[in-house]
Amino acid sequence: MTGIVLVTHNGLGEVIRHEAEHILGRTVNLTTVAVSYRADPEASLSELRTAMAASADAGGTLVLTDLPGATPHNLASRAAVENGVPVVSGLNLPMLLKVINHVDEPADELAGRACEGGQQGVVRK
């Protein structure tokens, strides 16, 4: 299995996790890290490093962030580079569901699934 870490703006990770659990009808094993716009960047970076280390599993760790270029993504990217952890940004519910359903894949493959799921979740009618 691959560990999953959601790094988002305040509260968003917990909300999307809750909705995924509601849809799947079960508890989801992942870690959320909320980054406040008021947070000390170095303290948040330390928290991210700890979360990534604790979430690492046989398949590694995958980090999903909500908004590319924003503070949560930038900090997650810094922490991830240190450990060779893939980061995918643009978190949405279809992305998370795809990742959860394929969590047995290695982190790099799971990152591809995350992109696939996120894109499939964007539909224009």
Residue 101 belongs to domain with CATH number: 3.40.50.510
In a domain, residue 9? The reply is: yes
Whether residue 71 is contained in a domain is answered as no
Q: Is position 68 within any domain? A: no
Q: How far apart are CA 60 and CA 1, in angstroms?
A: 8
Amino acid identity, residue 87? V
Q: Note whether 83 and 61 are within 8 A (CB).
A: yes
> 89: Cβ–Cβ under 8 A, 6 or more apart, which residues?
64, 65, 66, 67, 68, 73
Domain that holds residue 56: 3-61+77-120
Instruction: Identify whether 67 is part of a domain.
Output: no
* Number of domains comprising the chain: 1
Residue 22: inside a domain: yes
pLDDT band at 57 (very low <50, low <70, confident <90, very high): confident
**pLDDT above 90 (res 107):** yes
Q: Which of the two residues, 22 and 38, has the higher pLDDT score? A: 22
Whether the CB-CB separation of 80 and 63 falls below 8 Å is answered with yes
**pLDDT category of residue 81 using cuts at 50, 70 and 90:** very high
Percent of the chain with pLDDT over 70: 100
Q: Place 56 in a pLDDT band, splitting at 50, 70 and 90.
A: confident
Instruction: State how far the Cα of 66 lies from the Cα of 42, in Å rounded to an integer.
Output: 19
Query: pLDDT tier at 58 (50, 70, 90 boundaries)?
Result: confident
- Domain presence at residue 55: yes
Place of tokens 């394929």: 102
What pLDDT is stored for residue 38 in this prediction? 85
Q: Is residue 70 part of a domain?
A: no
